[in-house]
């Protein structure tokens, strides 16, 4: 094949990949202010914000779109660490957070998280929107 044909094929594949990735992005559509209210249910175990620290559960500052099991110094369950292994391990995308927050033990069998979950779609969307307002230190 000529270099020109190979170049065109490569360009088409990149365009298709970008379109595919764009079509699978999950928009954060919840209300962050309402999510702050929902987050009250989480405060017994989690903190979020610039001065947050891990408690019974890991701190959640910067959790949206972060690799699972990445809070330094927190002791995660082996089930969560197995899910997070490797380059293609679990990332806390809004979509995965939604699934986890629905019923944590169904999403990751063996998780240490004892919370039963948030039944309402709106509550999950709102708390994810709230969490998304907190970037990791040094990020915008």
pLDDT of residue 136: 75
Number of domains composing the chain: 1
Nearest-angstrom CA–CA distance, 12 and 26: 24
Q: Which residue has the tokens 């779109």?
A: 65
Task: Count Cβ neighbours within 10 Å for each residue of 64-92 and write b for 16 or more, e otherwise.
Answer: bbeebbbbeeeebeeebeebbeeeeebeb
73 in Cβ contact with 59 (< 8 Å): no
Has residue 61 been placed in a domain?
Answer: yes
Nearest-angstrom CA–CA distance, 119 and 111: 18
CATH number of the domain within which 97 lies: 1.10.760.10
pLDDT above 80 for 60: yes
Model confidence pLDDT, tens digit, residues 93-131? 999 999 999 999 999 999 999 999 999 999 999 999 999
pLDDT of residue 135: 86
Has residue 59 been placed in a domain?
Answer: yes
Higher pLDDT, 73 or 23: 73
What is the rounded average pLDDT of the residues 41-46? Answer: 97
Residue 55, C-beta contacts closer than 8 angstroms, at least 6 positions apart? 44, 45, 46, 47
Model confidence pLDDT, tens digit, residues 72-82? 999 999 999 99
pLDDT above 70 for 12: no
| Nearest one of 107, 99, 131 to 30, comparing CA atoms | 131
- Residue 113 is part of which domain span? 30-132
């Amino acid at each position: 094949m000529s270099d020109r044909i190979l170049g065109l094929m490569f360009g088409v594949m990149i365009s298709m990949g970008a379109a595919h990735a764009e079509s699978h992005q999950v928009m954060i559509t919840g209300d962050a202010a309402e999510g702050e209210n929902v987050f009250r249910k989480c405060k017994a175990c989690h903190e979020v914000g610039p001065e947050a620290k891990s408690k019974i559960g890991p701190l959640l500052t910067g959790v949206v779109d972060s690799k699972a099991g990445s809070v330094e110094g927190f002791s995660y369950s082996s089930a969560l660490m197995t899910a997070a292994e490797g380059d293609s391990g679990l990332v806390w995308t809004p979509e995965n957070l939604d699934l986890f927050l629905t019923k944590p033990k169904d999403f990751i069998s063996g998780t240490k998280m004892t919370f039963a979950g948030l039944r309402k779609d709106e509550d999950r969307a709102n708390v994810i929107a709230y969490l998304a307002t907190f970037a990791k230190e040094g990020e915008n």
